Amino acid sequence: MGLGMGLAPDTLLDVRGLEVVFAQPDGPVYAVNGASFHVRRGEWLGILGESGSGKSVSLLSILGLLGDNGRVTAGEAWFDGEDLLRLPERHLRTIRGRRIGVVFQSVSAGLNPFLRVGAQVMEPMLQHHFCGKAEARQRALALLAEMGIPDPETRFHSFPFELSGGMRQRVMTAVALACDPDLLIADEPTTALDTTVQVQVLRVLRDACARRRMATIMVTHDIGVAANVCDRVLVMYAGMVMEVCPIDEFIERPAHPYTLALRASHLDVRHRRKPLVSIPGTAPVLREPPRGCPFAERCAFAADVCRRERPPLMPLAEPAAAAGTGAPSDRHWVACHRAKEVVALGDHAVVDRR
Ligand SMILES: Nc1ncnc2c1ncn2[C@@H]1O[C@H](COP(=O)(O)OP(=O)(O)OP(=O)(O)O)[C@@H](O)[C@H]1O
Ligand code: SF4
Ligand SMILES: [Mg+2]
């Protein structure tokens, strides 16, 4: 149940038409506006997008972790045959932390300041009856060591405030992996880490992903990290999925003007240069549902139709030479009225039209 047309049988999570609204004293905020995405077992999906684009809210909402003022107003989130958005909280709690591990963006949200580190890594294993106490202790120590935490025996007895921000983030990752989850949801899991530790943590996650066929959804601001570890990337803007494709397509054949702008504002993923092109304008906070394309105000390609009609997420045609036919591909999806022209221009689109 729940698997949409064309999805592989090993699809683990299938989110469709997700909408999230926050109530604010001065009116609603439309944070997620019809986002659809999926992840397969063993696959690593990266989520990119500027601050406020709805990355965290999309993930928190399917975990049932929106604050009191947040509400899912539409959508489905099928996880291994169950719609997470319709499960009672009691049932969801048996999945969260056990079958879905979570690394929160905010370190303070992820760890209990009054509980020692070792106890926090053991907690999900004991709570979900994953194993006995002695084994949980051994596993916790092994996970802390795996995360590159020096002297794990000592750190096991530390409180979170005794650790650096980077170490706390690694402890959170250990907590998330404690019960061998099928899916890891990690919101900026390596942002606070220095480069060496970042590589180490990513390697551990990559190994865990491969060994257990664990699927990973990782939010990151770092296109370089996404390019190195992700199988596919999803680009979000104004709570909508603008483009989703395999990482090689993201690098070689981006089809959305926002993806191009985002790439140009970061490390040049192909040439490892840093062109300092910033995206003109700012990301909107939507006080009403988007009517046309929410990127139109900032887009050099915007035409009348863009302001009138919201572009649906559609499969992009394969290059005629590669596919033989130029038929639509189910690998690469894009929400742009002018995607064909954009993909034809490639990176020149950013430079030429400015
Ligand atoms: N509790 C809340 N109450 C009201 N609005 C909220 C709340 N949480 C998020 N929002 C709004 O929802 C939108 C999406 O926020 P979200 O946290 O998902 O962004 P993000 O893409 O994760 O950004 P960042 O990269 O900064 O983490 C933003 O406009 C944000 O202001
Ligand atoms: S739909 Fe129009 S405004 Fe939106 S990204 Fe495409 S060209 Fe730009
Ligand atoms: Mg966020």
CATH number of 303's domain? 3.40.50.300
Given this model, what pLDDT does residue 206 score? 86
Which ligand is nearest the CA of 222, by number? 1
Residue 1 binned pLDDT confidence (cut-offs 50, 70, 90) = very low
Residue 254: give the domain boundaries. Answer: 234-352
Given this model, what pLDDT does residue 198 score? 84
Cross-strand bridge partners of residue 216: 44, 184
Asked whether residue 204 is domain-assigned, the answer is no
| Mean pLDDT, residues 186-209 | 83
| Mean pLDDT, residues 49-65 | 95
Residues with beta carbon < 5 A to ion ligand 3?
Answer: 56, 105
Asked whether residue 306 is domain-assigned, the answer is yes
Asked whether residue 316 is domain-assigned, the answer is yes
Average pLDDT over all residues of the chain = 88
Higher-confidence position of 12 and 319: 12
Asked whether residue 114 is domain-assigned, the answer is no
For a mutational test of ligand 2's pocket, the pick from 336, 342, 343, 350, i.e. the residue with the most ligand atoms closer than 8 A to its C-beta, is: 336
Q: Which of 344, 325, 348 is nearest to 334 (CA)?
A: 344
**For the chain, where are the E strands, in sequence order?**
11-22, 29-40, 44-48, 70-79, 82-83, 100-103, 183-187, 215-219, 232-237, 240-246, 314-317, 328-334
Which ligand is nearest the CA of 311, by number? 2
Cross-strand bridge partners of residue 77: 15
For ligand 1, the distance from its centroid to the CA atom of residue 54, given in whole angstroms, is 6
Asked whether residue 252 is domain-assigned, the answer is yes
pLDDT value at 354 more than 50: no
Given this model, what pLDDT does residue 196 score? 82
Pocket of ligand 2 (CB under 6 A): 257-258, 293, 295-296, 299, 301-302, 306, 311, 336-338
Pocket of ligand 1 (CB under 6 A): 22, 24, 29, 31, 49, 51-57, 67, 69-70, 105, 285
* CA pair distance 60, 80, nearest whole angstrom: 18
Q: Which has the minimum average pLDDT: 68-82, 134-148, 185-199, 330-344?
A: 185-199
Asked whether residue 32 is domain-assigned, the answer is no
For ligand 1, the distance from its centroid to the CA atom of residue 284, given in whole angstroms, is 11
Evaluated on CA atoms 337, 228, 351, 53, the torsion sign reads: positive
Name the helix (H) or strand (E) containing 57: helix 55-62
In this structure, the residue with its CA closest to atom 6 of ligand 1 is: 22
pLDDT value at 85 more than 60: yes
Q: Which has the minimum average pLDDT: 81-85, 143-147, 268-272, 292-296?
A: 268-272
- How many domains are there within the chain? 1
For ligand 1, the distance from its centroid to the CA atom of residue 91, given in whole angstroms, is 26
In this structure, the residue with its CA closest to atom 19 of ligand 1 is: 52
Given this model, what pLDDT does residue 114 score? 93
Residue 267 binned pLDDT confidence (cut-offs 50, 70, 90) = low
Asked whether residue 284 is domain-assigned, the answer is yes
Asked whether residue 238 is domain-assigned, the answer is yes
Which ligand is nearest the CA of 50, by number? 1
Q: Which atom of ligand 1 is nearest to the CA of 57?
A: 18
